[in-house]
Amino acid sequence: MKRIELDIVALSHSVTQSHNYAVVLGERKGQRRLPIVIGSFEAQAIAVAMERMVPNRPLTHDLFKNTLDTFSIELREVVINNLLDGIFYARLVCVKDGEVFEIDSRTSDAIAMAVRFDCPIFTYDFILEAAGVVLEDQEEEEGRIGAATAEAPPQVIDTSALETYSAEALQQRLQEVLESEDYETAAKIRDELKRREQKS
């Protein structure tokens, strides 16, 4: 399977769910984006590491990093290796004394660890094909990294009734919510479009 390296391009507050965030990963050599909905604690853990903030006491992810460092275990890379029923799965690829071993992880935790170890994040092409989105009008997203609150889309879409929209309307709404950085709604629209493609 083809592996694709990803970068964190945005960390946005969810428009539709006040306690959720979306971390957006972008392929390093392409235009596809992979939005992943995460909780507020995980978003904070990622943001703290990205901003190089040092809390008074170590957060859980800092503790785990300190433990790995103490026992001379290197986190070589993070791999988002599967997508089942809308849930992303990830693995931490570690090295100790030349031996490589993998640890199962929630994707949000794996990303938080990757930021702390400054190690690469990879996924597979089939995951980007299934869950990735492409912005038609590319913008420089890298300058907007941080826990920024996204503005509401120009026209609010009822995500509980996506099946009532035509495919053309969904495609139009998808671009609107992407432009307003509402990646959670974009993921729901993308899933509905994928569901229709599989049925046809």
Tens digit of pLDDT for each residue in 23-55? 999 999 888 999 998 988 888 889 888 888 877
| pLDDT confidence of residue 183 | 67
Q: Single out the residue of 25, 45, 3 nearest to residue 147, CA to CA.
A: 45
Q: In angstroms, rounded to a whole number, what is the distance separating the alpha carbons of residues 101 and 44?
A: 28
Average pLDDT, the chain: 82
Q: What is the per-residue pLDDT across 81-100, written as a single tens digit (0 to 9) for each?
A: 999 988 999 999 999 999 99
Q: Give me the torsion for CA of 162, 167, 169, 172, rounded to 10°.
A: 110
Q: What is the CATH number of domain 3-149?
A: 3.10.690.10
pTM of the entire predicted model: 0.68
pLDDT of residue 145: 42
What is the pLDDT at residue 148?
Answer: 38
Domain boundaries defined on the chain: 3-149
Q: With 90 as the cut, is the pLDDT of residue 115 above it?
A: yes
